[in-house]
Amino acid sequence: MDPLSILLVEDNPGDVRLLESYLWETSFPWKMRHTSYLEKAMQLAASEPCDVCLLDLSLPDGFGLDTVTKMCLSCPLMPIVVMTSLNDEGLAVAAVRQGAQDYLVKNQLNSQLLIRSIRYAIERKKSEEALAQTVSELRKMDALKDKFLSVVSHDLRNPLAVITGVLELIGSGFYGAITPLQHEAVKDAIQSGDRMNRLIRDLLDVSRIEAGTLVLERHLVSLLMLLKRIVFEADIVGRGRGIQVVGDWKPEDLMIQVDPDRMTQAIENIVSNALRFASHEVQLSVTTDANEIRILIADDGPGIPPSELSKIFDRFTQADTERSKGGLGLGLSVAQEIILAHGGRVWAENLSYRLDTDLSDHISDHISGACFTIVLPYTKEG
Ligand SMILES: Nc1ncnc2c1ncn2[C@@H]1O[C@H](COP(=O)(O)OP(=O)(O)OP(=O)(O)O)[C@@H](O)[C@H]1O
Ligand SMILES: [Mg+2]
């Protein structure tokens, strides 16, 4: 067995002798290099790293946490055990946070404690290194995944636009008359194309959000016009499945500063989920106060399992329910990022637990599934 190589950085000759005597009591081979100075210790460590460094925190040329930082920098792979006197324990704990692996209080030391601490420091350093290695590999893979998502989703979009464009032309009779049955089939194919387009858009946006390149183009727009279009289109899709999509808002219009395409995308992502889960009905409503606009999107489906409520806005996350299958788990995370970028917030709750009379004022009692609330800052004047 190779002797354990120890670098002792200690300026008090009494403490050096004491440490050596403890080491002599142990049964394994060891060899030691000793210096009283931090500078010299850094040179020694850099020229020939040791298995462990025992570092006093009060040296002629270094004091306190600074010594640990310098030592870590000059020899990042070497485990460090700091040594302090009894009244400096707080400093020792801080040193561990700073990068040391363990600490020893000098006047409480014995042979067993010393060797246990050395072994512990060596093992802890090894696992820290392994963890750092894993994190760095994961980061690289994450960056690769983002690049892949960005390239793939971009390249999928163009051919899909051609496919749905041609289908629309067929549906409109441009290439000749088609039977009602063929018309229905073409409509279904267009709907699937639209859904795929939305998925690709979300995939692309995830990589944009990750890279911080999602740009908002804000204009002053009519919120009710925006919502009415979403309700109109969702209702057409819903009716094919026996689901009605209704909007409930006061006639007064609300002008807000938003990126209309992005805000539509965010609300559509929430509405398309509601359509997937609803039994018969999805309701959208709007309420305002002096500063904020609240958009409520509620459905009469089964709701979201309470244990999953906090997770559904996470990327690639779906609740563990039968109807969740099929999607990518991206819609809500993209919606949330867009809403946050507008200075707003969004959350989900289950109406079956509704205690909030405010919600009851705006959503019919028979709607008892999930309810998503989007809050946006109110910009009356733009
Ligand atoms: N209205 C709802 N009722 C019940 N569960 C919902 C509702 N909306 C969302 N969820 C749950 O939240 C999960 C995440 O939704 P999200 O839109 O992020 O992903 P997805 O719809 O599964 O896939 P994608 O939107 O990428 O196609 C859903 O899979 C579902 O489990
Ligand atoms: Mg979705």
Instruction: Please tell me whether residues 225 and 359 are part of one structural domain.
Output: yes
From the CA of 198, how far away is ligand 1's center (Å)?
A: 14
What are the φ/ψ torsions at residue 355 (nearest 5 degrees)? -115, -20
Pairing of strands 255-258, 219-222: antiparallel
Instruction: Choose the weakest-confidence range: 8-12, 146-150, 291-295.
Output: 146-150
Residue 381 confidence class, pLDDT cut points 50, 70, 90: low
Of 153, 237, 265, 273, which is best to mutate to test ligand 1, by the most ligand atoms within 8 angstroms of its C-beta? Answer: 273
Residue 5 confidence class, pLDDT cut points 50, 70, 90: very high
Please determine, for residue 244, whether its predicted confidence score (pLDDT) is greater than 50. yes
List residues near ligand 1 (CB under 6 A): 199, 202, 269, 273-274, 277, 299, 301, 303-304, 312, 318-319, 321, 324, 327-333, 369-370
Q: Specify if 179 maps to a domain.
A: yes
133 vs 249, residue with greater confidence:
133
Residue 249 confidence class, pLDDT cut points 50, 70, 90: confident
One-letter amino acid at 370 equals A
Of 311, 312, 346, which is best to mutate to test ligand 1, by the most ligand atoms within 8 angstroms of its C-beta? Answer: 312
Domain boundary among 211, 229, 255: 211
From the CA of 334, how far away is ligand 2's center (Å)?
A: 10
Instruction: Please tell me whether residues 312 and 172 are part of one structural domain.
Output: no
Atom from ligand 1 closest to the CA of residue 198: 27
Report the mean per-residue pLDDT for the chain. 89
From the CA of 336, how far away is ligand 2's center (Å)?
A: 12
Instruction: Please tell me whether residues 304 and 329 are part of one structural domain.
Output: yes
- Which pLDDT tens digit goes with each residue over 30-62? 999 999 999 999 999 988 889 999 999 989 998
Domains in the chain, number: 3
Rounded to whole angstroms, how far apart are CA atoms 97 and 142?
28
* Bridge partners for 222 per DSSP: 255
pLDDT (average), residues 60-72? 91
Residue 251 confidence class, pLDDT cut points 50, 70, 90: low
Instruction: Please tell me whether residues 204 and 232 are part of one structural domain.
Output: no
Q: Which residue's CA is minimally distant from atom 7 of ligand 1?
A: 273
From the CA of 214, how far away is ligand 2's center (Å)?
A: 19
Atom from ligand 1 closest to the CA of residue 324: 29
**CATH number for the domain harbouring residue 190:** 1.10.287.130
Instruction: Please tell me whether residues 99 and 183 are part of one structural domain.
Output: no
Q: Specify if 123 maps to a domain.
A: no
What is the pLDDT, as a whole number, of residue 382?
43
Q: Specify if 119 maps to a domain.
A: no
From the CA of 349, how far away is ligand 2's center (Å)?
A: 16
Instruction: Please tell me whether residues 289 and 196 are part of one structural domain.
Output: no
Instruction: Please tell me whether residues 189 and 225 are part of one structural domain.
Output: no
Give the closest residue to 7 by CA, choosing from 75, 53, 59, 68. 53
Are 50 and 78 a contacting pair, CB within 8 Å?
Answer: yes
From the CA of 360, how far away is ligand 1's center (Å)?
A: 23
Instruction: Please tell me whether residues 280 and 333 are part of one structural domain.
Output: yes
Instruction: Please tell me whether residues 230 and 340 are part of one structural domain.
Output: yes
Instruction: Please tell me whether residues 98 and 140 are part of one structural domain.
Output: no
Domain boundary among 211, 235, 261: 211
- Provide the domain limits for residue 165: 136-211
Q: Specify if 382 maps to a domain.
A: no
Q: Specify if 118 maps to a domain.
A: no
Q: Specify if 358 maps to a domain.
A: yes
Q: Specify if 182 maps to a domain.
A: yes
Q: Specify if 236 maps to a domain.
A: yes
Closest ligand to 275 CA?
1
- Which pLDDT tens digit goes with each residue over 159-180? 898 999 999 999 999 999 999 9
Q: How many CB atoms lie within 10 A of CB 174?
A: 9
